[in-house]
Amino acid sequence: MIDYEKTRAWRSGPVRHAYTAKDSILYALGVGFGADPLDAQELRYVYEKDLVAVPTMAAVLASPGFWMRERTELGIDFVRLVHGEQSVVLHRPLPGAATLVGESRVARIVDKGEGKGAVMHVEKTLTDEADGGLVATVEQVLFLRGDGGFSKHGGGDAPAPAAAEPPAGPPDITLALPTRADAALLYRLSGDINPLHVDPAVAAKAGFPRPILHGLATYGNACRGILAGCCGHDAARLRSIRARLTSPVYPGETLLLECWRLGAEEVAFRARVQERDVQVLANGRALLG
């Protein structure tokens, strides 16, 4: 069982990550940019001339790795861990190439009860090594299905405020976002090489008919849609983006991104797969500048 005190006190220490324009371009291709090579608005994300980084790339930079598996003394049942939510807050535009320093910590662990699992929030800050300035704050929310009931031994935090549902009524914008058939093969080169996303045998053993797309790739595709539909393709306007990951996507499927404008600077959104009518992102929020 998870050791609350030890896990809550966990810190990654500085993780230095030097990335290049090639890395930024590869990430952008993995989340669907450049499918139309004549689209000048998207070309800026996949061409080194005046390159712009996709804001959600902050989620994969300077990662501490799969520390839940390596730190066995924490007692986390990492086999039953599920990625539940993701957020990125930009304090300045993400550079197309830079050396960033990431520092991660466990910010919250909530006990949902015996047999109901626990929820862990992991926060990562990214600073630019060149000037020490804060670039982004990233939060990953993990559902620990095998770790409920730990609070009977002491510890536990209050739940985070519940994410708001989209407004009632039809969306203001609906965008169709096709994903590439080889999207997972591209996206895994940005850091997540879990064979579930590439090996049909591994996917079948996990209960899937074929390899699934990374949840963070679905999240990155939503960012692509928000930039196109709400920001005029200007990444500098996106201040934050958050969403709950609710169901897997198969590469080659089309995402339908539904957006509601909540004033000039906030957008609510969700996404579903067009072919199967399954919701894959929920409770989405983006703040614009």
| DSSP per-residue codes, 58-83 | GGGTT---SHHHH-GGG---GGGEEE
Cα separation, 124 vs 121, in Å, equals 10
Q: How far is CA 186 from CA 3, 108, 173, 180, 197, in A?
A: 37, 32, 28, 9, 10
In sequence order, what are the beta bridge partners of 260? 268
CATH architecture of 173-288: Roll (3.10)
Cα separation, 106 vs 67, in Å, equals 11
At residue 19, the pLDDT reads 98
**DSSP H stretches of helix in the chain:** 4-8, 21-30, 40-46, 67-70, 183-187, 200-205, 215-230
At residue 21, the pLDDT reads 98
At residue 45, the pLDDT reads 98
In tens, the pLDDT along 76-126 reads 998 889 999 999 999 999 999 999 999 999 999 999 999 999 999 999 999
At residue 237, the pLDDT reads 97
187: left (phi over 0), alpha (psi -120 to 50) or beta: alpha
At residue 199, the pLDDT reads 95
In this structure, what token pair is assigned to residue 113?
Answer: 């009860």
The residue ranges of the chain whose pLDDT is under 50 are none
CATH superfamily of 4-153: Hotdog Thioesterase (3.10.129.10)
Tell me if 157 sits within 8 A of 110, measured CB to CB: yes
Residues identified as active-site: 192, 197, 212, 215
Name the residue type at position 61. Answer: L
At residue 9, the pLDDT reads 97
Classify burial at 39, counting beta carbons within 10 Å of its beta carbon; exposed 0-12, middle 13-18, buried 19 or more: middle
Cα separation, 289 vs 287, in Å, equals 7
CA 50 to chain centre: 25
- Please report, for the chain, the start and end positions of each structural domain, with discontinuous segments joined by +: 4-153, 173-288
266: CB partners within 8 A, 6+ apart: 285, 286, 287, 288
Determine the straight-line distance between the first and last CA of the chain, rounded to whole angstroms. 43
At residue 87, the pLDDT reads 98
Q: How far is CA 91 from CA 215, 238, 288, in A?
A: 24, 10, 12
At residue 79, the pLDDT reads 87
At residue 1, the pLDDT reads 85
At residue 162, the pLDDT reads 87
At residue 153, the pLDDT reads 84
